[in-house]
Amino acid sequence: MSANKESWGSRVGLILAMAGNAVGLGNFLRFPVQAVQNGGGAFIIPYLICFLVMGIPLLWIEWSMGRFGGKFGHHSTPFIVDTMHKNRLWKYIGVFGIWTNIAVASYYCYLESWTLSYVFHSLGGTFSGLDQIGVSNFFDEYVNLGESTFGIPYEPIFFFVVCLLLNTWILSQGLAKGVERVAKIGMPLLIVFGMFLAYKGFTINAGENGAINDSSVGLNFLWTPNFDELWSPTVWLAAAGQIFFTLSVGMGTIHCYASYVRSKDDIALNAMSAGWMNEFVEVVLGASILIPISIGYLGIDGVVDLVNSQGGLGLGFRTLPYLFYQWGDVLGAIAGVMWFGLLFFAGITSSLAMGTPWIGFLQDEFNWNRRPAAWSFGLIVLVLGMPTVLFFKYGVFDEYDYWAGTVSLVVFALFESILFAWVFGMNKGWREITSGADIKVPGIYKFIIKFVTPLLLLWVFIGSLITPKGGDWAGAFSNGWELDDSSIINKIKNSNLKRQLAEATDPAVIEQLQETLFFVNASRILLVVVFLSIAGLVYMAYKKRVREGRI
């Protein structure tokens, strides 16, 4: 008999927890950069189209799959998908829904710990008096385990462990008393902090506090559409990719959360509510902070250079703490606490969701109680995540992010869309979506879910697999298909690193590249071992079910 008897305390708590799962660091650090790099205001067109024809369908698919599996007492994807079709292979496809969360949590909790550390550094006045280079150097020293400003030995490890302990303790308290309670506190605070910073972003005036541009310059730069970019497949791939990042689809967390919904409860409106709340946070708040404030003080050219060289992480951690102090020490410290506090709440509401599938699996299949299951998750993430802390400069963090946080999302989403619409059957799937619905689901979505969404997902996967050099799709067809280093195929082959090795002449550089190549390959092997280990546990659980006569 399963030890899993949990449920959500309230509908509001469920929606906030689902929204918290979706609202993450990418809403504030990744979306504005994607918009700048892919046509500005024109980017919102493919972005919203992808949200409507891929994001919303996947939300409904995952919510309905989760609720359907929950009827049979399943709270993790291996056996949720197994209830939809009895081919034994499906449960091993469902392994992605546990593995992805463990692998992503292993580096995401480290990233989350940066925000916690920066909250304390903002309170402690660490960034007061530092110029832009000084703030940037602080970040480099921090991730490279340099000297601690607080006098804490190995400060990044300390905050990583503290952050992980906090996550694990909250998970051990259960859904209603742990995850839901944090969502009810964290999401409103996130929105309040975001609205304050967005207000500051909207009210920057040239000549005040060192600003060289009005806020309108940054907002116009971000949202002025470059319609020529609309015809680029690269822009559409970027938009589709952002939908994965922003909604947390293809991970298995939504399935798990929805599996605790009662069988007759609405999922159609709940899914829409959580999805649109995420869009508000991303498009309205996320786009009103990072880029407008940066351009107000650094100018368009300066920000473009930073975006191209450092991305959202660079702007968020290397630059904004310096810019906040242009408003004075007191307001600079308050803004820093709000910015990194906002990021922390965005991070922890997502990382808590990542622990739930593993905990549900242990409770369902091996009769573990909540507390030991939660602490086992924390221990696994500690062991798997420590290499991202110790070997950050060797690219371990980026490898985890690419394979677990990018590629696997597309792969699992593609499989689940095929399972739902074509194997389980669209008619049965539609009944699941509309059963108990508090809204009338537009009939066109029956066609979209069956045809458009799987084809779009297939296109995203193939496009990522064979991305042409420089994203020049037209030239690739006419001049020969040379793969870009960002393509999955060239990533597997380590083409970029091997090219740098071949061109390097400095012995120190060669040694650094060889070490990076070793750690990159080692991190991939580690991820594969974890996947196979989880698949082994799923096999053991299946055999246990057979012995107990549950199959």
What is the reported pLDDT for 2? Answer: 60
| 84 within 8 A of 423, measured Cβ to Cβ | yes
Percent above pLDDT 90 for the chain: 81
Mean pLDDT, the chain, whole residue set: 93
Lowest mean pLDDT among 50-59, 61-70, 244-253, 413-422: 244-253
- For domain 11-547, the CATH class is mainly alpha
SS3 483: strand
Lowest mean pLDDT among 163-177, 207-221, 446-460: 207-221
Q: Is pTM, for the whole model, over 0.75? A: yes
Cβ neighbourhood burial of 225 (10 Å; 0-12, 13-18, 19+): middle
Q: Please count the other Cβ atoms lying within 10 Å of the Cβ belonging to residue 473.
A: 16
Rounded Cα gap, residues 449 and 328, in angstroms? 52
Band (pLDDT 50/70/90 cuts) for residue 233 is: confident
User: What integer is the mean pLDDT of 303-320?
Assistant: 88
Residue 467: is it exposed, middle or buried by C-beta count within 10 angstroms (0-12/13-18/19+)? buried
Q: What tens digit of pLDDT does each residue of 9-67 get?
A: 899 999 999 999 999 999 999 999 898 888 888 888 999 999 999 999 999 999 999 99
pLDDT score at 40: 82
What phi and psi, each to the nearest 5 degrees, are found at residue 480? 100, 140
421-459 burial, b at 16+ Cβ within 10 Å, e below that, comes to: beebeeeebbebbbbbbeeebeeebbebbbebbbebbee
DSSP code per residue over 260-289: TS-TTS--HHHHHHHHHHHHIIIIIIGGGT
pLDDT band at 452 (very low <50, low <70, confident <90, very high): very high
Q: 225: pLDDT confidence band, cut at 50, 70 and 90?
A: confident
| 346-380: pLDDT as tens digits | 999 999 999 999 999 999 999 999 999 999 999 99
Q: For residues 219 and 41, what is the distance between their CA atoms, to the nearest angstrom?
A: 10
Alpha helices in 367-494 (DSSP H): 370-390, 396-402, 408-418, 426-434, 444-447, 453-465, 473-479, 488-493
Burial class (CB in 10 A: 0-12, 13-18, 19+), 323: buried
Side chain identity, residue 25: L
